[in-house]
Structure 1
Amino acid sequence: MDIKMWINGKEVKGEVAPETLLIDFVRSKGSFSVKRGCETSNCGLCTVLLEGKPVLSCSTLVARAQGKHVVTLEGIQKEALEIGLFVADEGAEQCGFCSPGLIMNMYAMKNELKNPSDEEIKHYLAGNLCRCTGYMGHMRAIRKYLDAHQEVSHEDRK
């Protein structure tokens, strides 16, 4: 089947088998930040944004992305660096295994949620496995990151 989508703002096309996973297609197009981790949709290492929403690309058929926009870490490098600094400042950056999915989810939260509850934040983290921390550092980093961007939004309105 023929497939067309936008990866990080660039139109890409290809011929794929119907059972092709999104992870395999985006990697074939040069988005190597998207990695396999657990192969069971539990670790979040393969998280990408599909039309702005986080999805696990290891369990998403590429056909679901037909005609849509996909964003990977390569597409948000500046934002990923900023998010990484918030995570590191809170001591939540240890082995780095969970970082790709965590960063993608934090970016999505900033764009989608306004003043999220802890439960809403935990919903975004449900697909991210962290092997090193108890998620408290992540929660602090997320809160500080979202608060910083909430303040910017308020200043822009003045």
Structure 2
Amino acid sequence: MSGKIGVKMVDITEKPEVYREATASGFIRLKKETVKAILEGKVPKGDVLNVARVAAILAVKKTWEILPLCHPIPITGVEVDFDLTEDGVEATVTVKTTSKTGVEMEALTGVTVALLTVWDMVKSLEKDSRGQYPYTLIKEVRVLEKVKQASKDDKPI
């Protein structure tokens, strides 16, 4: 097999700027005791969900700096929500822009950084006697929905 294999950023010069939105979610499985500590505000590192929310927003804004072929785009809105269940935390991130390219990668980056931040903040509660994490697991990270439309009030394209 021969041929040139290269890397290039997609040229979006001629694309019009339109309203775009993407929502992604993911889940971190935690011990029941850890979820209880989060709910009761008893995690030694502090307020897990507020720190994870700020981390997600920062990650969304910096996605283009850590994913080599993502374009820097104006982020016009970020929503970060958490749903605690008895066995973990679901994070959902919605990102909005008016740009030439979508925000799926920004939403996915926000979700994964939110979940990593949760893990970092609760890791002392999740370790077993050998210092391992046999139960903790990040899973089901995915794009739930993406929207592209001429303006926020129009029907999707």
Same fold (TM over 0.5): no
Q: Tell me the TM-score normalised to structure 1 length.
A: 0.31
TM-score (ref. length: structure 2)? 0.31
Relative contact order, higher structure (CA 8 A, sep 6+): 2
Greater gyration radius: 2
Higher helix share: 1
